[in-house]
Amino acid sequence: MSGQDGARTGAGRATTASDLTALTAAEARRHLDARDVSAAELTEAHLARIDAVEGRVHSYITVMAEVARAQATAGDARIARGEAAPMTGVPVALKDNLCTVDAPTTAASRILAGYRSPYDATVVSRLRDQGAVFLGKANTDEFAMGSSTEWSAFGATRNPWRLSHVPGGSSGGPAAAVAADEAVVALGSDTGGSVRQPAGFCGVVGLKPTYGRVSRYGLIAFASSLDQIGPFARTVEDAAILLGAVAGHDPLDSTSAPEAVPDFAAMVGPGAGEPDLRGVRLGVAREYTIEGMEPGVQAAVDAAIARLAELGAELVEVSLPHTEYALATYYITAPAEASANLARYDGVRFGLSVQAPTLRETYERTRGEGFGPEVKRRIMLGTYALSSGYYDAYYVKAQKVRTLVRRDFDEAFERVDAIVCPTSPTVAFAFGARTDDPYQMYLSDVFTIPANMAGIPGIAVPCGFADGLPVSLQVLGPAFDEGIVLRVADAYERSETWTGQRPPL
Active centre residues (catalytic): 95, 170, 194
Q: Please state, in angstroms and as integers, the Cα–Cα distance from residue 195 to each residue in 158, 271, 412, following that order.
A: 16, 26, 24
Phi, psi torsion values for 468, nearest 5 degrees: 75, 5
Are 337 and 453 contacting, i.e. CB atoms less than 8 angstroms apart? Answer: no
Pairing between strand 418-422 and 281-285?
parallel
Are 400 and 453 contacting, i.e. CB atoms less than 8 angstroms apart? Answer: no
**483-489-490 Cα angle (round to 5):** 85
Neighbours of 30 (CB within 10 A): 15
* DSSP class of 320: -
Are 316 and 501 contacting, i.e. CB atoms less than 8 angstroms apart? Answer: no
Q: Which of 142, 201, 173, 204 is nearest to 430 (CA)?
A: 201
Q: 148 by DSSP, 3-state: which?
A: coil
Are 347 and 316 contacting, i.e. CB atoms less than 8 angstroms apart? Answer: no
Whole-angstrom distance, CA of residue 247 vs CA of residue 250: 9
**DSSP-H helix ranges across 35-105:** 39-57, 65-80
Q: Edge-to-edge strand order for the sheet containing 228-233?
A: 60-63, 133-138, 91-95, 185-190, 228-233, 205-208, 458-466, 469-476, 418-422, 281-285, 314-318
